[in-house]
Structure 1
Amino acid sequence: MKITLLLVVLALFCGTSSAQVTSYTFDPNNLNKRLVAQLDSIYKEDQDTRMQIVQAQQAGVSRDSLLAMVEVAKKKDLSNIDFMVKFIDKHGWLGPEVVGIQGVQSMFLVIQHADLSIQKKYYPLILKAEQEGKMLSSNVAILEDRMAIREGRPQQYGSQFRTDEASGKNILYPVEDVDQLDDFRKSRGLPPMKDYLPNWTIADYRADLAKSEAFLKSISSRK
């Protein structure tokens, strides 16, 4: 039985049009079970590792213990990235009609955790997948933001932020146009900022901007 999970919206923004992919359509009976199993295993490891770190933070474990867990996560990431690079080079960027929703998400998450050179290598494939309705627009926007920050550029969709260790405050990395931020986010299927970062305000963003710009500059200088 075919499951329809597709909503493609024509988004008109700033004089341009693009197909906004917010969900998928596929027949679960036609999935490649072998590839699904491989990608689902990677997805589980990726998410379980990060959830363990979050739970440890919430439990108040020592800083040294957290750092040790982060190092383990980094090693697992490197292993997963190595697998995924070989997987994509062999199979291409597969859509949900082949590997299901979680399979596509597994590919995306691993590439999102990879270094900038790998992200840039596969970005054209990911963008093409979005244009074909095989990749969520929100995921592509997040990847575009992450690449921008790593290159020392302002992000467009406001998905990237850091948490100040002293205050616990979430500080947004610089954005292209803060006054149109929610419009940009809507154009790619992302929720408004009030839902994404409930305590975030434009006033706070402007107050923290100089500090954020300096932090962004320090990131790009480490490339």
Structure 2
Amino acid sequence: MTIPLRVAVPLVTLATLAACGTSSSPTVDPPAAPSSATPSAAVGSPAAYDKALHDELVAMLERDQADRGGTPQTESDQARTVRLKDIIRTHGWPTIALVGEDGADAAWAIAQHSDLDPAFQQEALGLLRAAVAIGQASPGNLAYLEDRVAVGKGEPQLYGTQVRCGPDGPSPTTPITDEPGVERRRAEAGLPTLAGYLAEMTTICAQDG
């Protein structure tokens, strides 16, 4: 079984919920080729904090999480993907400066759950990379989306963030590239150790089992 995605506001919890894919879609993918766009072009021009956009993104994430927590919403993942595309066309990638950390986390989580539009997920990955490069997005979020896109292609993942629940507990959905180096990569992204992460996921698997 694949664990349904659930998210709470803190990044660590957001990351946990985003780690598991839906039963109808894959969970992760190895890092895509670096985006050809420059960081400034990818994230758009510097902009002042936009509270209305922040509030919209946070509310979208709340509906996303309610859906995954068993409370059906009238808005689908696809609808949230379409709206995030519109936001990006208007504002560029939703950066921390534009929508705050929780708004930026919400944008990432919506992209993370856009499994039915892999082309957009790949585009979002390039934009998120560019935002991280200028300190305007979370490296941990980037690690999860790197893996998500990779797993969606059936390729190895870099960080081991995408897992499935099996009879013996959680295990990576696809193999981990250069597994001896995974702890270094996770530390660089600000993620906990793989062993600690799998222990947390073991609890979640037991709850969902």
TM-score normalised by L of structure 1: 0.62
Q: CA deviation at 1:110?
A: 0.7
Question: Which residue identity does 2:67 align to in structure 1?
Answer: T
- Residue in 2 that maps onto 1:180: 181
- Residue in 2 that maps onto 1:144: 146
- 1-side partners of 2:139 and 2:89: how far apart? 22
Q: CA deviation at 1:168?
A: 5.6
Percent of counterpart pairs with the same letter? Answer: 28
Q: Deviations over 1:145-192 (max 9, x none)?
A: 11111112110111011112xx26212121112222211211211110
Q: CA deviation at 1:75?
A: 5.8
- Residue in 2 that maps onto 1:99: 99
Partner secondary structure for residue 34 of structure 1: helix
Larger RCO of the pair (alpha carbons < 8 Å, separation 6+):
2
Question: Which residue identity does 1:162 align to in structure 2?
Answer: R
Q: Which has the higher helix share?
A: 1
RMSD: 2.1
Question: Which residue identity does 2:170 align to in structure 1?
Answer: N
Shift of the 197–118 alpha-carbon distance from structure 1 to 2, 3 Å rule, reads: same
Could you tell me whether the CA contact under 8 Å between 2:49 and 2:97 is conserved in 1? yes
Shift of the 121–96 alpha-carbon distance from structure 1 to 2, 3 Å rule, reads: same
Q: 1:47 aligns with which of 65, 81, 95?
A: 65
- 2-side partners of 1:158 and 1:123: how far apart? 17
- 2-side partners of 1:151 and 1:44: how far apart? 28
Q: Which has the higher strand share?
A: 1
- 2-side partners of 1:168 and 1:90: how far apart? 46
Unaligned 5+ residue runs, structure 2? Answer: 1-47, 202-209
Partner secondary structure for residue 111 of structure 1: helix
Q: Could you list the runs of 4 or more consecutive aligned residues of structure 1 that deviate by over 4 angstroms after TM superposition?
A: 72-75
Q: What is the count of residue pairs matched by the alignment? A: 151
Q: CA deviation at 1:48?
A: 2.1
- 2-side partners of 1:49 and 1:163: how far apart? 20
Could you tell me whether the CA contact under 8 Å between 2:63 and 2:73 is conserved in 1? no
- 2-side partners of 1:127 and 1:44: how far apart? 24
Q: 2:56 aligns with which of 38, 52, 72?
A: 38
